[in-house]
Structure 1
């Protein structure tokens, strides 16, 4: 880092008791530093993008004559490694044209704010999106919104798959279609519509029915992530099980979104962690006998479909970019008619899982509960 600068979104504040707060008020991003001598505050103030790390350390030694050279350098190093500081000299990579820089400027502001991993420049996450190849399977309520969000955010290659034609009843919640599209294949319409959203991408599609694990294994080959937005066939031997087992075998991260009336959710999975079958078994073990969880059904309005699709897209973006660096193996969501009911569950890898039980012990995260 040549010229450290505190990110504008994380401008520090100092309290009378010597504490320094950096990261703003955003939950999960802010941090507090005990700074009774004012070393950190002075270093942060000097990180304005005009000084090198060595010059900032020298400034600290001048300001605090009793501070040793290695102590001053250590303070600067810690702050530069915190994720709240960027290199003012960094420029967007040459692979992004001026038009793309303008198009993705809000993306960059988002990643700069939420990404606390020190990086050479704030465009690294966007570059990962540009080179990512994502398969969107199912272009209904969840899938149409997810595909739009992935295209808008700049996922470089998107392949859209669906077996159905557009119907009149789709238009209440499926964002990519119009009345004039009724009777046309969803995949065909989706490709055309997404190309109008972002012409910088490679967007393809096909009308296809997935009939089993082998079929899906062929389909996911060459992709970096799967957004499963189809829910049929259902059941213990249905498409979610096919997706889980093929993605576990291929080491492919994937996410599945769904809704059942006002309940919307997304589950995300990454290689090496507990899989969909681990999570499902863990959730079912907490339910009363005879009660099952079924996300799906005809009851939906545009907001429930939209929220589920955007949760799915966000999970895929996180899996592809590592921002935020959250391991898969969880389900999260909300009840749109009961805002106080937050869905969250994470369960550990199950040694007897038929899909991932051969993974090394302890590969998955610990149980953190459901609320």
Structure 2
């Protein structure tokens, strides 16, 4: 890092006992530094984007003669590695056009805020999105919102699959369709709408249903993440089980979400975590076990789709501190009804143990 500065969203606060807090506890990315001697505070103050790391270390030694050059250097390196500091100088990123940088500037600001990995120029998560290939299976209440969000975010290649046509009852929640689309294949309409949302990415579609695990395995070939937004056939031993086994064989993560009345939940599974079947076996009742019951509004469908999209983006960008192998979500009738379920792999599970 050439000219480090503390990220504005992570502005440090010093408590009465000298402890420094960065990041904000409300956001889940806070750090605390015990700093009785004031060395870290002084270094953070010097990191204003006008000094090199060597300059900061020199300023630290000038303020605290007791510090050796090695001590000052270690303090600076530790702060640089914390993720609360960014490069202030203009970072070169030739893989994105100026048009793309303008389009995704707010995304870059978001990832800069939540990403605690030191970066050269802050565009690394967006570059991962540009290189990503994501399969969206199902373009109903959850899938239509998820597909829109992934296209808007700049996923480089989206393949959308759905067997159905647009019906009047879809229009209370499925964001991509209008009255003029009644009777048209959802995949065809989605392609038209999303190409108008983002013409800089590749979008392909398929009007097809998945009739077995072999068909699903063929579909995911070549993709980095599966966004499973279809609900048929239902569990047990339905399409989520097929996805669990096919994605495990392919070595890719998958995200599945939906709604069950006021319960909106999403599951995230993949290499490095307990599989869907193990987590499901440990839960009673099962969040996500009966997605897409008839009762739904645009708001509840939108929440499920946006949560699916968020978790897909987290898997692609790697800006996520939670490993796969869990369900999470909300119960809309209870302000405190947050869902989080995680269970270890079962002994002898052929997929994840």
How far residue 90 of structure 1 moved from its aligned partner, in angstroms, is 4.6
Contact 1:270 1:319 in 2 (8 A): no
Output the aligned Cα RMSD. Answer: 1.6
1:366 match? none
Contact 1:255 1:266 in 2 (8 A): yes
- The alignment of Structure 1 onto Structure 2 pairs a total of residues equal to 353
Q: Describe how 1:141-152 pairs up with structure 2 within 5 A.
A: 141-152=141-152
2:236 match? 236
1:302 match? 298
Q: Describe how 1:99-138 pairs up with structure 2 within 5 A.
A: 99-138=99-138
1:2 match? 2
2:320 match? 324
Per-residue CA deviations over 1:133-188 (Å, capped at 9, x if unaligned) read 00000000000000001111111110000000000100000000010011100001
Are the structure 2 counterparts of residues 333 and 92 from structure 1 closer, same or farther at C-alpha, using a change threshold of 3 Å? Answer: farther
1:202 aligns with 2:202: yes
Q: Choose from 331, 334, 340 the match for 1:335.
A: 331
1:188 match? 188
Report SS of the residue matched to 2:86: strand
Are the structure 2 counterparts of residues 349 and 91 from structure 1 closer, same or farther at C-alpha, using a change threshold of 3 Å? Answer: same
Unaligned stretches of 5+ residues in structure 2:
none
Are the structure 2 counterparts of residues 25 and 292 from structure 1 closer, same or farther at C-alpha, using a change threshold of 3 Å? Answer: closer
Q: Distance in 2 between matches of 1:218 and 1:174?
A: 27
Report SS of the residue matched to 1:326: coil
TM-score by length of 2: 0.97
Are the structure 2 counterparts of residues 31 and 74 from structure 1 closer, same or farther at C-alpha, using a change threshold of 3 Å? Answer: same
How far residue 292 of structure 1 moved from its aligned partner, in angstroms, is 10
Q: Distance in 2 between matches of 1:235 and 1:256?
A: 13
Report SS of the residue matched to 2:327: strand
Per-residue CA deviations over 1:199-254 (Å, capped at 9, x if unaligned) read 11101101011111111111000100000000001132211111111001111100
How far residue 25 of structure 1 moved from its aligned partner, in angstroms, is 4.3
Q: Distance in 1 between matches of 2:112 and 2:207?
A: 38
Contact 1:256 1:267 in 2 (8 A): yes
